[in-house]
Structure 1
Amino acid sequence: MPTNKKESLQFGFLMCFGMVLVMTIYNFYLHGTIHEMTFMEGVLNFLIAFIVAFILDLFIVGPTAKKVAFKLTARTSKKLYKILAISISMVIGMAALMSMFGLVTMSLHSGFHVETVVTDYLTIFGSNFILALPLQLVVMGPLVRFLFTKFIQSPGAASATV
């Protein structure tokens, strides 16, 4: 999809924004905090999560997911397989790291309980992964790719490879 660094940043920004927005609202609802906070508290929580997620996407998860995905799809030229491999790798990496972020922020608000850290992390990861994978594959991935090719990507670059 993206053919240069600028397009890669724009694509990552759109994807990260959409995923973090939905996942933030989902986690607020899941933990019963959606009705307990003000609009501005919600926006602030979203912005902090978005900044953390975008940095993770740019420097850790994105490059690692692409390396893994390209190794897994090295023997195929099908673009769909490459897109699916990147998307699944990204979801696994982002869900794992953002669940750690969620655990830390949850612990800051409600206290830190050492005896349940692993259980809490696995619960958070599981609940995030269950929504993030279909959200990425069925909604955000296709939507962001459509918006990107329609409004952002330079003409003629749409035929370039992943």
Structure 2
Amino acid sequence: MSQADNWSTTARRAYFGLLEDWNRQDAPALAARFTERGSLVGFDGSQVDGRACIEAHLRSIFEQLPTPLFVAKVREVRRMANGQTLLVRAIAGMWPRGGTALDPKLNAIQTMVLSLCDGAYRIEVFQNTPAAFHGRPEEGERLSEELRGVGKPHGL
């Protein structure tokens, strides 16, 4: 495996691991992927800073409702100039638990920044932005179609 494949694979594992933790509603595991001072920007615009606060925020969400399940596709992995920072750009959709179809209203554009900390890449920032495409419904449908091609989430 080349060095480029190695950091790209590492970034993809971190990204999909985060989504798997969400799908399992495992707040401690998900929060542990962040640096101590990491930041999370949620779908509703919530900004949560710090690993402990991220865990508490997610625990509260998971206790309140059965969150939909993520499916996603990585569009880009980029190694930044310093070589110790990785950028992941992805698209994501969500299936209601027990549902039979993707809910297009929950489609998102996601960005993750990872940095090398004590020999492991950890999340500095994860942002989950609604893919609203105001005034451009055809773009929203194209995104939904692409996400349907990913398939159903594990455990559905």
TM-score tier (shorter): 0.3 to 0.5
Name the structure with the higher strand share.
2
Name the structure with the higher helix share.
1
Which is greater in Rg?
A: 1
